[in-house]
């Protein structure tokens, strides 16, 4: 702990001309770390340095997403409000990839709408009790990528915030929601293809049985979590 305070004190003392350079100093051994994008270097209110694997609130990094956090309402398959408030927490590396993907959607006049992000393990257990089918809900014994801060449920909206047609609503548990299901109008197949193409270009992996679910690559190596975010 003492070292963390030392590092933070030096961080405050060393105000560089180039704001993208952060000087970390520990006793006599000064180390210099360059960050390519200062946007993502942030000292939060608890005065801890945020790293790529830290959980962050996406609103602190971008206002370019629509948030429709279904589990903060009763409008979900649990028919229960299981989040105290509608916030989207993810690991910082997931947020960075999502922002990059969103910028690509914007080029076509679209942007992303998020339905679910990090999900506490206790909520996963509740979901598993209702739908004990790994095709649709991950077994909490293994943990979902949502519990690791690396998964997002999302869709595409147009400039007016209107969802484009994906053939089924979010959390539709049936074969029609699968990427492999082809018996859908051409436009729906095109829309799903667009979502998948851009997400895959930004380090995400699709999930066969749910068109809305994307995992950040390698996120399965991160530990599961059960923290609850603060509500104002």
Q: What is the Cα–Cα distance from 58 to 217, expressed in whole angstroms?
A: 19
- How far apart are CB 213 and Zn ion at their closest, in Å? 4
Nearest to Zn ion of 22, 166 (CB atom): 166
Across the chain, how many H-helices and E-strands are there?
4, 9
Contact range with Zn ion by CB under 5 A, out of 8-16, 47-55, 79-87, 145-153: 145-153
Nearest to Zn ion of 11, 196 (CB atom): 196
Does residue 213 interact with Zn ion by CB under 5 A? yes
Q: Which residues of 184-218 are buried (b: 16+ CB within 10 A; e: fewer)?
A: beeebbebbeebbebbeebbbbbbebbbbbbbbee
Q: What is the Cα–Cα distance from 48 to 211, expressed in whole angstroms?
A: 36
Contact range with Zn ion by CB under 5 A, out of 2-10, 64-72, 157-165, 209-217: 209-217
- How far apart are CB 116 and Zn ion at their closest, in Å? 6
The string of DSSP letters for 42-72 reads -B-TT--B--TTSEEEGGGT-S-SEE--GGG
Nearest to Zn ion of 192, 213 (CB atom): 213
> Distances from the Cα of 101 to the Cαs of 36, 105, 127, 183, in angstroms?
19, 6, 29, 28
- How far apart are CB 210 and Zn ion at their closest, in Å? 6
Nearest to Zn ion of 148, 213 (CB atom): 213
Does residue 148 interact with Zn ion by CB under 5 A? no
- How far apart are CB 131 and Zn ion at their closest, in Å? 12
Q: Which residue is nearest to Zn ion (CB)?
A: 213
Q: Which of 68, 153, 171, 222 binds Zn ion (CB under 5 A)?
A: 153
- How far apart are CB 226 and Zn ion at their closest, in Å? 17
| Closest of 170, 159, 174, 173 to residue 192, by C-alpha | 170
* Interacting residues toward Zn ion by CB under 5 A: 153, 213
């Amino acid at each position: 702990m003492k070292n963390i305070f030392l590092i933070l004190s030096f961080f405050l003392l060393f105000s560089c001309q180039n704001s993208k350079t952060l000087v970390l100093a520990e006793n006599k051994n000064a180390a210099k770390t360059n960050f390519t994008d200062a946007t993502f270097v942030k000292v939060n209110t608890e005065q801890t340095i945020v790293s790529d694997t830290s959980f962050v609130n996406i609103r602190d990094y971008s206002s370019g997403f629509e948030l429709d956090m279904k589990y903060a309402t009763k409008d979900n398959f649990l028919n229960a409000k299981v989040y105290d408030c509608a916030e989207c927490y993810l690991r910082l590396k997931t947020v960075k990839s999502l922002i990059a993907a969103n910028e690509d959607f914007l080029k076509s006049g679209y942007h992303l709408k998020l339905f679910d992000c990090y999900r506490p393990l206790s909520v996963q257990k509740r979901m598993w009790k209702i739908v004990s089918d790994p095709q649709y809900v991950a077994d909490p014994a293994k943990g979902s990528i949502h519990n690791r801060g690396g998964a997002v449920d999302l869709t595409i909206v147009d400039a007016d915030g209107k969802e484009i047609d994906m053939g089924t609503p979010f959390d539709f548990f049936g074969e029609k929601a699968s990427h492999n299901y082809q018996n859908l109008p051409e436009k729906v197949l095109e829309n799903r293809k667009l979502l998948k193409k851009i997400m895959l270009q930004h380090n995400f992996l699709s999930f066969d049985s749910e068109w809305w679910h994307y995992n950040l690559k390698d996120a399965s190596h991160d530990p599961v979590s059960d923290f609850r975010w603060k509500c104002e």
